[in-house]
């Protein structure tokens, strides 16, 4: 949009200069501002204000149809858009749903794999999977919106000695009826029982190793059991994903087991190229400025790094991707530093990014856990936020019937859960303040959903508006709302550049806040001047359209009625 145009015009006139074009929080400093005069002043040892005046004269002819005026304050050049230009842009947004989308297309013909969620089979999803799933899905939506060809990669843990132990437990104590009735909790129960029994019967450890060895060798019975456990697990994952408003048909499910056959060739290649070497019986790779990366333990067992390397080669060679995002917790930072370092040694031609995220904390600021100290299951989190959301919805709209009330409450609950995460930088720990998450008057997902619903209520009563008299939009609030809409493509592109969604989340909150203030202070439907009312409805419709699009990108449902 206009911000990118300003950047381009300045860059064309002053190439090879690293400067910024920003959107000031305070409108008295213009719609956009740049620090190029500071940068040039420092480089040329001249007064930034004098340089700023020269820059304005150079670029002014290329922007005069859009820019009303420019000001220099403290060396910054501030740009003020023409009201006529703002109204013209509003008309384009209203008449063409793809108008802003077209401005955000930066990923054409580019493929990106985004790995997220990645639970372990035969175990329930827990609070540790929440952030990976929410952040990863939002980034995938945003990348897809900007034109990238996205592969949503769910790298599930489905291999290792623990499955030999589970097979032992099922053969000894398993009941198929209980497994069919409640698969994941029952498999977890069996796994826990195995370790309880192990205290009095140490030979079970060898039995578990033996059964896993049989599985590795293709034993039909063990393979059938393992596949059955895997199918039941993925079905349960999909049930949780559906609750979280995540489309599973877009996901590629890949397991560690898919790469077992490739591990030997990976290790042989690294050894033959003298990248890997033996150390005290283990196979390691020495890395500059990092601890050695271990490929194989002294007992011959491979590690997660080895399987990640096999998966990486598969993604780059077979999927022909040049960029991979790994949405995984901060605690795995060293693992990914080592993986990326080894990939560099192997000359793997792809941009690899670790999208880190912090822990989930309770209201007391401590790691979220149950009273018994165990990890909180994801289903428990969903259930709690839904129970709280039902109360909120019923208080707000007691006339809703039970079916509709539950439907709205679910959408509000998931919106609260996701927005609470996405509004913050992923590196930060997030706090579960349940009341704040559902606050209809604060910086929350439900607040934005409720604003969208209120806008749609106005449109239902007043109509969709007409563009024939947009010149009647002269109020400062109206013009500020239009200029806010123009920032949408730039915000989306910023999310891609930074691999975060918090810029979009906060943008939607600020847009919703301005929209709320607008329709609370200006009685749109009571306006006796029909032409102006129709023009204002165009603005309301356009704001609602962007709120809906933005919420969808965050994975949050936009409700026309709450």
At residue 42 the predicted structure's pLDDT band, cuts being 50, 70 and 90, is confident
CB 305, CB 338: distance < 8 Å: yes
Six token digits for residue 343: 């990939």
Same domain, 251 and 285: yes
263 Cβ neighbours under 8 A, 6+ residues apart: 302, 306, 307, 310
Burial class (CB in 10 A: 0-12, 13-18, 19+), 31: buried
Same domain, 127 and 61: no
Same domain, 412 and 466: yes
Six token digits for residue 99: 């108008």
Six token digits for residue 280: 């005290």
Same domain, 327 and 179: yes
91 falls within a domain = no
236 falls within a domain = yes
Name the β-bridge partners of 73: 76
> What is the CATH number for 65?
3.30.1360.70
Domain stop point among 360, 395, 412:
360
Say how far apart CA 151 and CA 143 lie, in whole Å.
10
Say how far apart CA 423 and CA 497 lie, in whole Å.
17
Same domain, 247 and 335: yes
Say how far apart CA 353 and CA 328 lie, in whole Å.
10
At residue 373 the predicted structure's pLDDT band, cuts being 50, 70 and 90, is low
Q: What value does the mean pLDDT take over residues 171-178? A: 94
**DSSP sequence for 85-147:** HHHHHHHHHHH-TTHHHHHT---TT-EEEEE---PBTTS--BHHHHHHHHHHHHHHHHHHHTT
99 falls within a domain = no
pLDDT of residue 470: 97
| Sheet with strand 282-287: strands edge to edge | 277-279, 282-287, 290-296
> What is the CATH number for 540?
1.10.730.10
Same domain, 37 and 183: no
> What is the CATH number for 355?
3.40.50.620
449-473 per-position pLDDT tens digit: 999 999 999 999 999 999 999 999 9
Say how far apart CA 174 and CA 185 lie, in whole Å.
13
203-218 per-position pLDDT tens digit: 999 999 999 999 989 9
Same domain, 354 and 384: no
Task: Tell me which residue range forms the domain holding 450.
Answer: 378-553
Same domain, 351 and 402: no
CB 75, CB 49: distance < 8 Å: yes
Give residue for tokens 């920032």: 487
Same domain, 319 and 228: yes
Lowest mean pLDDT among 373-382, 496-505, 535-544, 545-554: 373-382
426 Cβ neighbours under 8 A, 6+ residues apart: 131, 135, 355, 356, 357, 358, 500, 502
What's the number of domains the chain is made of? 3
Give residue for tokens 């039902």: 390
Say how far apart CA 497 and CA 351 lie, in whole Å.
13
At residue 275 the predicted structure's pLDDT band, cuts being 50, 70 and 90, is very high
Same domain, 309 and 352: yes
Q: Residue 107 pLDDT more than 80?
A: yes
What is this structure's pTM?
A: 0.94
Say how far apart CA 95 and CA 102 lie, in whole Å.
14
Task: Count CB neighbours of 440 within 10 A.
Answer: 16
Say how far apart CA 523 and CA 532 lie, in whole Å.
12
Element (H, E) at 325: strand 323-327
Instruction: Check residue 376 and report its DSSP letter.
Output: P
CB 251, CB 113: distance < 8 Å: no
At residue 370 the predicted structure's pLDDT band, cuts being 50, 70 and 90, is low
203 Cβ neighbours under 8 A, 6+ residues apart: none
Give residue for tokens 């498999």: 187
Say how far apart CA 494 and CA 501 lie, in whole Å.
9
562 falls within a domain = no
Same domain, 453 and 520: yes
pLDDT of residue 551: 98
Residue 458: name the closest of 355, 365, 539, 346 by CA: 539
Same domain, 36 and 163: no
Helix ranges, 154-286 (H): 161-173, 176-181, 183-198, 203-216, 220-243, 263-272
pLDDT of residue 304: 87
Say how far apart CA 380 and CA 434 lie, in whole Å.
13
The dihedral sign for the CA sequence 245, 358, 377, 362: negative
558 falls within a domain = no
Say how far apart CA 282 and CA 301 lie, in whole Å.
9
Domain stop point among 64, 81, 98:
81
Give Dmax over CA atoms of the chain in angstroms.
Answer: 87
Q: Residue 143 pLDDT more than 90?
A: yes
CB 108, CB 143: distance < 8 Å: no
Domain stop point among 81, 99, 128:
81
331 Cβ neighbours under 8 A, 6+ residues apart: none
Say how far apart CA 490 and CA 146 lie, in whole Å.
11
100 falls within a domain = no
189 Cβ neighbours under 8 A, 6+ residues apart: none
Lowest mean pLDDT among 238-247, 297-306, 326-335: 297-306
Q: Residue 372 pLDDT more than 60?
A: no
């Amino acid at each position: 949009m206009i911000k990118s145009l300003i950047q381009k015009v300045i860059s064309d006139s002053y190439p090879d200069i690293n400067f910024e074009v920003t959107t000031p929080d305070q409108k008295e400093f213009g719609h956009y501002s740049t620090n190029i005069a500071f940068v040039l002043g420092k480089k040329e040892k001249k007064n930034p204000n004098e340089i700023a005046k020269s820059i304005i004269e150079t670029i002014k002819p290329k922007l005069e149809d859009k820019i009303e005026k420019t000001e220099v304050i403290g060396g910054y050049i501030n740009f003020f858009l023409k009201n006529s230009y703002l109204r013209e842009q509003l008309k384009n947004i209203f008449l063409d749903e793809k108008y802003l989308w077209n401005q955000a297309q930066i990923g054409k013909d580019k493929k990106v794999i985004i790995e997220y969620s990645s639970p372990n089979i035969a175990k329930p999803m827990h609070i540790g999977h929440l952030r990976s799933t929410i952040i990863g899905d939002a980034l995938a939506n945003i990348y897809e919106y900007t034109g990238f060809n996205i592969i949503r990669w769910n790298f599930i843990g489905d291999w290792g000695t623990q499955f030999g132990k589970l097979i032992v437990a099922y053969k000894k104590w398993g009941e198929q009826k209980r497994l069919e009735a409640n698969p994941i909790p029952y498999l977890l129960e069996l796994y826990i029982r195995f370790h309880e029994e192990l205290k009095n019967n140490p030979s079970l450890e060898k039995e578990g190793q033996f059964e896993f060895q049989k599985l590795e060798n293709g034993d039909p019975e063990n393979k059938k059991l393992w596949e059955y456990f895997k199918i039941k697990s993925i079905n349960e994952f999909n049930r949780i994903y559906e609750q979280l408003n995540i489309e599973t048909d877009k996901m590629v499910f890949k397991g560690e087991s898919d790469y077992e056959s490739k591990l030997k060739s990976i290790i042989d290649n690294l050894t033959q190229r003298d990248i890997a070497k033996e150390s005290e019986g283990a196979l390691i790779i020495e890395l500059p400025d990092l601890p050695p990366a271990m490929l194989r333990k002294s007992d011959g067992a491979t590690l997660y790094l080895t399987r990640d390397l096999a998966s990486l080669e598969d993604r780059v060679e077979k999927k022909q991707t040049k960029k991979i995002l790994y949405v995984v917790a901060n605690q795995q930072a060293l693992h990914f530093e080592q993986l990326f370092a080894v990939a560099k040694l192997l000359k793997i031609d792809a941009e690899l990014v670790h999208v880190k995220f912090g822990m989930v904390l309770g209201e007391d600021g401590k790691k979220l856990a149950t009273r018994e100290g165990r990890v909180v299951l994801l289903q428990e989190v969903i259930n709690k936020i839904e129970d709280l959301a039902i109360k909120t919805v019923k208080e707000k709209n007691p006339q809703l019937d039970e079916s509709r009330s539950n439907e709205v409450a679910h959408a509000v609950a998931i919106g609260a859960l996701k927005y609470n995460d996405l509004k913050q930088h992923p590196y930060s720990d997030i706090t579960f303040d349940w009341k704040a998450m559902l606050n209809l008057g604060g910086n929350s997902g439900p607040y934005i959903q409720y604003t969208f619903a209120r806008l749609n209520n106005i449109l239902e009563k007043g109509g969709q508006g007409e563009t024939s008299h947009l010149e009647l939009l002269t109020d400062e609030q109206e013009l500020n709302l239009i200029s806010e809409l123009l920032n949408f493509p730039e915000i989306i592109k910023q999310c891609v550049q930074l691999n975060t969604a918090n810029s979009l989340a906060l943008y939607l909150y600020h847009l919703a806040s301005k929209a709320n203030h607008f329709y609370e202070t200006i009685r749109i439907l009571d306006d006796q001047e029909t032409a102006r009312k129709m023009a204002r409805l165009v603005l309301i419709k356009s704001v609602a359209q962007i709120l809906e699009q933005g919420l969808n990108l965050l994975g949050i449902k936009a409700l026309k009625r709450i």
